[in-house]
Amino acid sequence: MLNVLRPAVTRVLTPLGRALANRGVSPDVITTIGTLGVVISALVFYPAGHLFAGSLAITFFVLADLLDGVLARMTGKPSRWGAFLDSTLDRFGDAAIFSGLIMYFVLRDEPEILLAAVALFCLVAGTLVSYAKARAEGLGMEANVGIAERGERIAVILVAAGLSGLGVPYILAVGLWLLAAASAITVVQRMVHVYRQAVVR
């Protein structure tokens, strides 16, 4: 879904990318700032119960995930190091988002341990989704399949948390349960896809 939207978002970010490129800003700097913004926003706003403000702040910094790629193309500096840095720092951002939500559930006056556990499962399953793809590519195969890639997972949790912060009842719980199921299914889809490439052929 987000891959369809990516070209439109890239066009919107192009003028900003051009301005940054003219000032000699490195794509790696944008990647790092974006991750720091996500981590700080998630770990400050979410545990304090400011779900809507936190989701807005995180969304702003998540856009750096697209801006660094735009900037790399404009500066002619796309690199394997940049790709590695981007993917690695993405894991920090994901961990911060779900850790912030886990703290939110645990630190409430009436802790919601079940939802904290579901959020933890989403974090672990999301990491497995990314690992399955990386490991497959390391073995010379590909695993770019599944119903819940990183973009979709982040979009779901940010929308659910943001709407919950606006007072929409049960939306965060529903979002987490759906995300947990979708992430688990995606792990299985990628395992089956790699199995077919490695064994069936």
The catalytic residues are 90
Distance separating alpha carbons of residues 158 and 110, to the nearest angstrom: 23
From residue 46, how far is each of 65, 124, 189, 192 by CA, in Å?
21, 19, 31, 36
Q: Rounded to 5 degrees, what are φ and ψ at 63?
A: -60, -20
Residue identified by tokens 């879904």 is 1
Buried b / exposed e along 85-109 (16+ C-beta atoms within 10 A): bbeebbbebbbbbbbbbbbbbeeee
Hey, what are 24's tokens?
């000699």
Distance separating alpha carbons of residues 25 and 53, to the nearest angstrom: 28
Q: Rounded to 5 degrees, what are φ and ψ at 168?
A: -70, 120
